[in-house]
Amino acid sequence: MNSLKTAHPVHTAVAQAPSALNGIRVIDLSMFLAGPFGTQQLADLGADIIKIEPEHGDSTRLLPPHFHKGESLYFLSTNRSKRGMSIDLRQAEGREIFYDLVRSADVVIDNFRPGVIKKLGADYETLSALNPSIICCSISGFGQDGPYANRPAYDMIVQAISGGMSLTGEPGQRAVRAGVPIGDICAGLHAVIGILAALREREKSGIGQAIDISMLDVQVSMLSYQGVYHLFSGEIPGGQGRAHASIPTYASFQAKDGRDVLICANTEKMWIALCEILDLDYLPKDEKFLTNELRHTHRAELVPILNDAFLKRSSAEWLERLNEKGVPCAPVNTVAEALRDPQVRHREMVQKFEHELGGDIEVLGNPIKMSRSPTAPIKSPPLLGQHTKEILREIGYSEQKITSLIEHRLVA
C-alpha cells in the first residue's frame, strides 16, 4: 500500500494501534453509491467489510467514463479496503453460505428496494433467528413503509422530492441538483451513525436490531432551519443562489479578475472590519445597516454596494486583506484547486493505493481523525470474487467443499 503520508500530530504516534472498529465484521450486500460509501467509511475505521456481489458484480464496476485495468473509477472510489465474494443468493444453497457468514458477523447492510431483501431470505427476522446479535441496516429511497416505499429512487429524485433542490440555484431561476450526490452520500453516513449507535446499544442489551434509513428522510432533515422557517411562517423559500437567507454578508461576490470571493461576516465586529477593508467606512453608521436585522431588511440596497466594491480588486488581494483582518473568507475553488489545497493535502485527504492489477490510484481520504485509533491502511478494492476462497476457509469450509461450490456456480 502506497499512501501520500504527511506527519500528522493526531495519529503519527499511534500508527501501530488497532483501528477503532477492528474485530467488527460487516456483510455488505449494497451496490452503487449510498451503501458502498457508508461501508467504505466503516472499512477506513477498521471493520472487516465482506462485499457480496452477484455473478455479474456491482453494476458500478462498468460505469463510464474512466477505467483502470478495466475497473471503473466510480467503483474504485467507494469500495477500498473491502474483501470481495461472489455468491448466488437466488439459490437456496447460496443462501446457506450467506447464512454461515451471518453467524460470524456483526452487521449486514443492504440498499435493496423494500421487499427484495425478504425475497432473498436476508431480512432481519430471518437473520436474527440465526444470530440474535446481528444488526441489519437497510438503505432505501423512501424507507420500509409509507405510500412511496416500493418506488425506485435515486439521488436526484430524493433531492427533488425533499425540497432541497428547490433551494439550489439562483433566485427566480430553475432549480438545480447539488453538484455532489448528497442524497446518496448523506444516507450512507446516516447508516454509519445508526450502525455505530446499534453496536453501542448491543454492548448493553446483547441483541441486535434493524435500522431503516430512508434517503428522503435524510434529505428532509437536512432542510434544517429552512424547513423550520417555513413551518413557523408559512413562507416558501426559493433558490438561495450565492447568499444566505438570514445574513446578507454571508455570500460570495465577484472580484475584478472574475473569480468569486466568499465571505462569512456574521458578527458586528466582522461587519465593521469588512466595511473598512472595502473602503466603505460610512456604511456601519448608516441607520439602515446598524444591525444584522436591518441589513437583512435593506439587503436589496446593501448587496449592490458590496458588489461594486468587490469589483475594484482581484480575488487574491481581497482574500489577503480579509484574512489579515480576521473576516472568514474563501476562494470558490474548482475541484482541481481544492484537491491541490495545502490544507487538504496536510490532512491526508488525498491518498493513493496500489491496485491489485498494478498501478497506483489516487483517492480521497477519510475525514475522521482519532487520537488513539488510526485510520486503517487503504487497500485496493476487491476484484470480483477475489476473497471468496479465503473467507470460506475462515468460516470452516473445506477445500473440497469450496471446489464443489465453485463448480456448481454457487460462488465465484
Give the integer Cα–Cα distance in Å for 409 and 55: 9
DSSP structure class, residue 70: T
Place of cell 447539488: 178
Determine whether 184 is an active site residue.
yes
DSSP structure class, residue 240: -
Which residues is 202 bridged to in the sheet?
none
Of 58, 184, 212, 257, which one is the catalytic site residue?
A: 184
| 248 contacts 296 by C-beta, under 8 angstroms | yes
Give the integer Cα–Cα distance in Å for 383 and 75: 10
Give the integer Cα–Cα distance in Å for 313 and 296: 25
| 378 contacts 5 by C-beta, under 8 angstroms | no
CB contact burial 227-255 (16+ within 10 A = b; e otherwise): bebeeeeeeebebbeebeeebbbbbbbeb
Extract the C-alpha cell encoding 154. Answer: 435515486
Catalytic sites, residue numbers = 184
